[in-house]
């Protein structure tokens, strides 16, 4: 499989790829100002897969949306390739948790092709070829002419993943893409995603509430705690730890659980 070659601008771009510097993000609510993300700083270098891990409500989606350019930090700055993030772009494609992120009036092929025409400016013929290739890689060759409403949740997420990879974004953003899937499909899709990321050398920011998922897909994990959302700890995931069912995997899972989340569980018990 071909590695996604970096463009010239990428080679010249300053490292790291993404800098999140002292970012706080709040929402105006009927009950007053709600700080969803509080003074968060981290960086992502090319080739890394950084996972934001934490329970529901700790600000993971808020942070991801800010990196995607969908919302503005209240304070602090987000630099992508050295420039402040001000709007969304195909260089930061997002895969969302919801199954309804595809255009319902376009076929599977049409969804990916349309994104390629718009996002990479490909002519229809080339866009069709590239789309077919990526849909094949996620096992959807036979579903290219289907409409989204006829697909299972797992298949819809596969289309969204194929579409995101097809655009060759410098940074892939994923917000719990497997959270609504059954456990068996989720595992399979984690493995497939890991394979695609490794084959393409993709850089990713992945959000999840599952410790096992974080270890499986990430090269580094940032654990977050809620009220307000803050970074609590950072964990590197060595290659040999990524293998499910091994003692290393179980040890890291238990270490993260006990060092970050155990105390909170008893707090709420």
24 contributes a contact to Mg ion by CB under 5 A: no
Closest CA to 160 of 226, 227, 206, 93: 93
CB 207 within 8 A of CB 64: yes
Alpha helices by DSSP H, listed for the chain, are 8-12, 60-68, 108-119, 124-137, 153-166, 183-200, 211-217, 247-256, 262-268
> Among 214, 131, 129, which Cα is nearest to 176's?
214
Residue 207 C-beta: closest distance to ligand ADP, Å: 7
Query: Minimal distance in Å, beta carbon 74 to ligand ADP?
Result: 12
* Binding to ligand ADP in span 186-245, by CB under 6 A: 229
Contacting residue, 24, 61, 190, 241, with Mg ion by CB under 5 A: 61
From candidates 27, 100, 141, 262, binder to ligand ADP by CB under 6 A: 27
Between CA 140 and CA 142 the distance in angstroms is 5
Strand partners for 37? 25, 229
| Residue 45 interacting partner from Mg ion, ligand ADP, none (CB closer than 5 to 8 Å by kind) | none
Sign for the CA dihedral angle at 41, 189, 96, 61 comes to: negative
56-64, 102-110, 139-147, 181-189 -> range binding Mg ion (CB under 5 A)? 56-64
Instruction: Please say which residue, 59 or 119, places its beta carbon nearer to Mg ion.
Output: 59
Residue 57 or residue 139: which is nearer to ligand ADP going by CB?
57
CA atoms within 13 A on the CB side of 24: 10
- DSSP character at residue 259: I
Report, in Å, the least distance between residue 195 CB and ligand ADP.
Answer: 26
Binding string to ligand ADP for residues 31 to 60, with x set by CB under 6 A, is what? ---x-x-----------------x-xxxxx
Residue 34 interacts with which of ligand ADP, Mg ion, none, CB < 5 to 8 Å by class: ligand ADP
193 and 217 Cβ atoms separated by less than 8 Å = yes
Nearer to Mg ion, 61 or 203 (CB): 61
Query: Nearest approach, Cβ of 234 to Mg ion (angstroms)?
Result: 20
Chosen residue from 20, 51, 53, 61 binding ligand ADP by CB under 6 A: 61
Q: What number of chain residues touch ligand ADP (CB under 6 A)?
A: 13
Nearest-angstrom CA–CA distance, 136 and 144: 9
Strand bridging mode 18-29 / 32-44: antiparallel
User: Residue 208, interface with Mg ion (CB under 5 A)?
Assistant: no
Report if residue 62 touches ligand ADP, rule: CB under 6 A: yes
Residues that bind ligand ADP (CB under 6 A): 27, 29, 34, 36, 54, 56-62, 229
């Amino acid at each position: 499989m071909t590695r996604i070659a970096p463009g010239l601008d990428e080679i010249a771009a300053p490292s790291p790829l993404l800098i999140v510097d002292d970012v706080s993000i709040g929402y105006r609510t009927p009950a007053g100002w709600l700080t969803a993300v509080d003074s968060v700083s981290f960086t992502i270098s090319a080739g890394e897969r950084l996972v934001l891990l934490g329970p529901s409500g700790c600000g993971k989606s808020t942070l991801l949306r800010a990196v995607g350019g969908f919302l503005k930090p209240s304070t602090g700055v987000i630099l992508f390739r050295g420039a402040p993030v001000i709007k969304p772009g195909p260089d930061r494609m997002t895969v969302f948790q919801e199954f309804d992120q595809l255009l319902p009036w376009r076929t599977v092929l049409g969804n990916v092709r349309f994104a390629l025409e718009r996002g990479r400016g490909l002519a229809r013929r080339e866009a069709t070829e590239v789309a077919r290739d990526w849909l094949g890689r996620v096992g959807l060759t036979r579903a290219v002419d289907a409409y989204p409403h006829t697909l299972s949740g797992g298949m819809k997420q596969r289309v969204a993943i194929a579409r995101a990879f097809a655009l060759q974004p410098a940074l892939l953003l994923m917000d719990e893409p497997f959270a609504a899937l059954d456990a068996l499909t989720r595992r399979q899709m984690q493995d497939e995603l890991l394979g695609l990321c490794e084959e393409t050398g993709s850089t990713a920011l992945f959000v999840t509430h599952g410790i096992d998922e974080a270890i499986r897909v990430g090269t580094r994990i940032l654990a977050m705690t809620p009220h307000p959302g803050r970074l609590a700890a950072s964990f590197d995931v060595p290659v040999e730890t990524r293998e499910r069912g091994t003692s290393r995997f179980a040890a890291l899972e238990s270490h993260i659980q006990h060092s970050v989340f155990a105390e909170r569980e008893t707090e709420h018990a």
